[in-house]
Structure 1
């Protein structure tokens, strides 16, 4: 009888010891990383003729990596040099384009050539040349503009693009004596 009770004791001991055995559970932690894909901001605005001209075209603004690039493709110009500026308002309703106001100058600096130490307006883009067929193109890139960022010293939304009949002399105050406003576009979405 001792052998049987010892055998039963051994079986019970092995069953209870199995119950007390701890199983090691591996916990795998995962981390989800969300990435935002920033698409460039882009606005295309049509230029409309002003001051009884036939000047038209398009201006494309694109913001990417903290810089805004502008490309204007213009037709109907007199051959030669012409000024292009950003003006204070997107209002192109007047026949002479003067409803767009003066040059965009949020920092109250003198008119001049872009980047000049003596100062320049944020709207002082400069001059470009129209060919013998009256077609002209200008490209410009800066980190001093933004599209819709809300910074009054950088945001070009709500401003206007003006193409002038003549060249900007880059010194006359307050506008460079560039002549009539022959085309206008409002920078609006």
Structure 2
């Protein structure tokens, strides 16, 4: 009986600790400021949304795309919060406050705005989530803002300045949430 009580008490303490850890993790992830970019195509069709949330140690960025062509697409945060159709070049180059070169496979990279490739299924949907170490909301939402861009082609993760990812097919300007 004594063993059962000790085991039960130990199990309850362990569960309480796990619950506290989950709550602390959730609170840390959701306590930061956030911004949302609603993506549109050049034809002004809805193409999904990107969310950036300030967390301990960086920015957590999620991209939920829809109604895009199936395949692999480069996805980047660009340095200017403008999305003028048809080519979205007003978004400028990649967000690069650390003045690095492009790509996670480039020894002098990556830009802060370099995200993993977005894989879009036959249903037109794709999702990525990544934390940008050292990224801040103040840096993202500086005087000229920032934009999320989805490109036509895959990013090769090494070629400066844009990974040969082709034209810009969707764009959204980050706005404080």
Q: Specify the alignment match of 2:140 in structure 1.
A: 156
Aligned match for 1:78, one of 44, 69, 79: 69
Mapping 1:19-30, distance limit 5 Å? none
Deviation at 1:89, TM superposition (A): 0.2
Partner of 1:42: 34
Q: Which has the higher contact order (CA 8 A, sep 6+)?
A: 2
TM-score (norm 1): 0.69
Paired positions, count? 145
2:54 corresponding residue in structure 1:
63
Rounded Cα–Cα distance in structure 2 between residues aligned with 1:173 and 1:68? 23
Scaled by the length of structure 2, the TM-score of the pair is: 0.74
Larger radius of gyration: 1
Give secondary structure in 2 for the equivalent of 1:187: strand
Q: 1:53 to 1:175 in 2, by over 3 A?
A: farther
Q: Which runs of 5 or more residues in structure 1 are unaligned?
A: 1-36, 149-154
Structure 2 stretches lacking a partner, 5+ long: 1-26
> Deviation at 1:186?
1.1
CA distance, structure 2, for counterparts of residue 179 and residue 136 of structure 1: 18
How do residues 1-189 of structure 1 correspond to structure 2 at under 5 angstroms?
Answer: 39-50=31-42, 52=43, 54=45, 56-113=47-104, 117-148=107-138, 155-157=139-141, 158-189=145-176
Give SS of 1:112's match: coil
1:107-161, CA deviations, whole angstroms, 9 ceiling, x for partnerless residues? 32221127x533211111120211111110000112321112xxxxxx1111111
**Are 1:54 and 1:77, in contact at CA under 8 Å, matched by a contact in 2?**
no
Deviation at residue 90 of structure 1 after TM alignment = 0.5
The alpha-carbon distance between structure 1 residues 75 and 119, as it changes in their structure 2 partners (threshold 3 A), is: same
Structure 1 pair 82/172, CA: closer, same or farther in 2 (3 Å)? same
Report the structure, 1 or 2, having the larger helix content: 2
CA contact (8 A) 2:112 2:132 kept: no
